Amino acid sequence: MVATTVPTTRVSWLRYGALAAKLILFALLLSALIWPDLSGIKGKASTARLVIYPLGVMVLPLWWWAYGRAKSKLHTSFPWHADLLMTLPWVLDLIGNRLNLFDTVSWWDDAMHFILWGFLTAGVLLAFGPRDLTRALTAFVALGFGATAAVVWEVGEYYAFIRNSSELQTAYTDTLGDLALGTLGALLAGLIIHRARSRVRT
């Protein structure tokens, strides 16, 4: 595991931000269990989300605890910046559903696919991507991860709830748009991460 070194002065707020995001996520999931009708995810694969979302935000901490600490050669502290970026997509998705933004704001779904896939890809690159990749290779890695993750998400959405919902009629067009926006968000994240790392090296 290789990650960008973060100045000590930023570690505290990144740590608190990542922990706060996880607390918000688990609070939203708990409220969905207690008040499913108010969760915003009822009828939208709520059971799958209750399982997958906690796993999504715990991937990096669990990997670090089991493997990353011993293999990290560039730093000894947990990569809170990457953890925050990998946590935000799950939290913002739940907040958007809880506030019914996906169904009431026409551009919200498109914006989320672009932005959240960018966050997730940036976090994965910072946590697991070698720092010495060229811009082209960083872009290819970002595209590979982002496009694959977007496809897996869309397939999961289809089998979890879209095939049996009224959204099926527009699913093809919506899925193509989501895949394109998620991939573009991932590509932009890769280019930003490469530029940031280049500036640190210089």
pLDDT greater than 90 at residue 148: yes
Using the 8-state DSSP alphabet, how is residue 19 labeled? H
* Mean pLDDT score of the chain: 88
Task: Tokens 């280049």: give the residue.
Answer: 198
Which candidate, 44, 36, 4, 38, places its Cα nearest to that of 129?
A: 4
CB burial of 66-101 (b: ≥16 within 10 Å; e: otherwise) equals eebeeebeeeeebbbbbbbbbbbbbbbbbebbeeeb
The pLDDT confidence band at residue 2, using thresholds 50, 70 and 90, is very low
Domain ranges of the chain: 8-201
Angle between helices 171-201 and 108-128 (to 10 degrees): 40
Most confident of 31-45, 46-60, 61-75: 46-60
Taking the C-alpha atoms of residue 62 and residue 75, their distance in angstroms, rounded to an integer, is 17
Enter the tokens of residue 14.
């990144």
DSSP for 93-159?
A: HHHHHHTTHHHH-TTHHHHHHHHHHHHHHHHHHHHHS-TT--HHHHHHHHHHHHHHHHHHHHHHHHH
User: pLDDT tens, 90-99?
Assistant: 999 999 999 9
Residue 202 DSSP code:
-
Q: How far is CA 156 from CA 85, 115, 201, in A?
A: 22, 19, 39
Percent of the chain with pLDDT strictly greater than 90: 64
Across residues 26-34, what is the average pLDDT? 93
pLDDT of residue 73: 53
